[in-house]
């Protein structure tokens, strides 16, 4: 049974989540503050954390950092904060996805399933499909269904590799820039937009309406298998 930790100080939201999650056979633990969240997580290590940022004792981003010190369990932020700065800060701290209140339970459950699939993927699959192309992570090659090789520059390959190694995960611009270009490039958003455009032109059936290399406005990018 998948163990979920719900961290929120709004009783009605906690109650609604408990009812819906238990009905779907999740084991649910709850906490109404950051201090309680870290304590409960230590006592009952979660498979997934649903976390509000606006907690009464300290900010939810600090809870993310505290959890990331010892667990890789997916963290799904559920918050009323709509400012992109708050969203990016949570992602940079280690959150896996972000849902804004008010939310639909079906969307939340879908996001939960997505982050859990990524977490439970097990051993890395050496070949990932992106549209009509196969990305061979071992051989560092991309080939189309007809066998033609897709030529990528080293930077294009590195960016694609980072994305496909985290299927379904929402990655902030800062995360991608640091991973691909290194420290000091955190504000080089133009580089990222350019190379994402190049990858879409080479891999997406319709680069103007990408299905797999997705932009999440104000937050970052996501690879959807």
Give 49's DSSP letter.
E
Residues 29-71: tens digit of each pLDDT: 999 999 999 999 999 999 999 999 999 999 999 999 999 988 9
What's residue 125's pLDDT? 62
Q: Each residue of 159-197: b (16+ CB within 10 Å) or e?
A: bbbbbbbbbbbbbbbbbbbebbbeeebbeeeebbeebbe
Over residues 202-209, mean pLDDT: 93
Rounded to whole angstroms, the Cα distance separating 34 from 36 reads 5
Over residues 189-216, mean pLDDT: 93
> Measuring CA to CA, which residue among 77, 85, 118, 73 is closest to residue 101?
77
Decide if pLDDT at 165 tops 90.
Answer: no
Around 62, how many Cα atoms within 13 Å sit in the side-chain half-sphere? 11
What's residue 86's pLDDT? 87
Pairing of strands 3-7, 27-31: parallel
> Measuring CA to CA, which residue among 105, 100, 108 is closest to residue 74?
108
Residue 119 or residue 165, greater confidence: 165
102 upstream amide cis, omega within 30 of 0: yes
What's residue 122's pLDDT? 45
Residues 9-36: tens digit of each pLDDT: 999 999 999 999 999 999 999 999 999 9
Around 66, how many Cα atoms within 13 Å sit in the side-chain half-sphere? 17
What's residue 145's pLDDT? 84
């Amino acid at each position: 049974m998948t163990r979920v930790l719900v961290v929120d100080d709004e009783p009605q939201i906690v109650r609604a989540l408990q009812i819906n999650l238990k009905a779907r056979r999740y084991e649910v633990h709850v906490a109404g503050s950051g201090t309680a969240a870290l304590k409960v997580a230590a006592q009952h290590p979660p498979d997934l954390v649903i976390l509000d940022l606006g907690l009464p004792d300290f900010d939810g981003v600090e809870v993310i950092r505290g959890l990331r010190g010892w667990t890789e369990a997916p963290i799904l932020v559920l918050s009323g904060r709509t400012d992109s700065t708050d969203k990016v800060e949570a992602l940079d701290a280690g959150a896996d996805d972000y849902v804004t209140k008010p939310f639909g339970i079906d969307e939340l459950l879908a996001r939960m399933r997505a982050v859990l699939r990524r977490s439970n993927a097990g051993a890395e699959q050496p070949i990932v499909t992106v549209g009509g192309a196969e990305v061979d992570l071992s051989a560092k090659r991309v080939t189309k269904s007809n066998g033609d090789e897709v030529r990528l520059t080293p930077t294009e390959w590195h960016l694609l590799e980072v994305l496909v190694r985290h299927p379904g995960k929402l990655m902030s611009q800062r995360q991608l820039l640091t991973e691909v270009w290194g420290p000091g490039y955190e504000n080089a958003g133009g580089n990222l937009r350019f190379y994402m455009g190049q990858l879409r032109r080479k891999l997406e059936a319709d680069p103007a309406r990408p299905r797999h290399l997705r932009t999440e406005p104000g937050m970052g990018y996501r690879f959807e298998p």
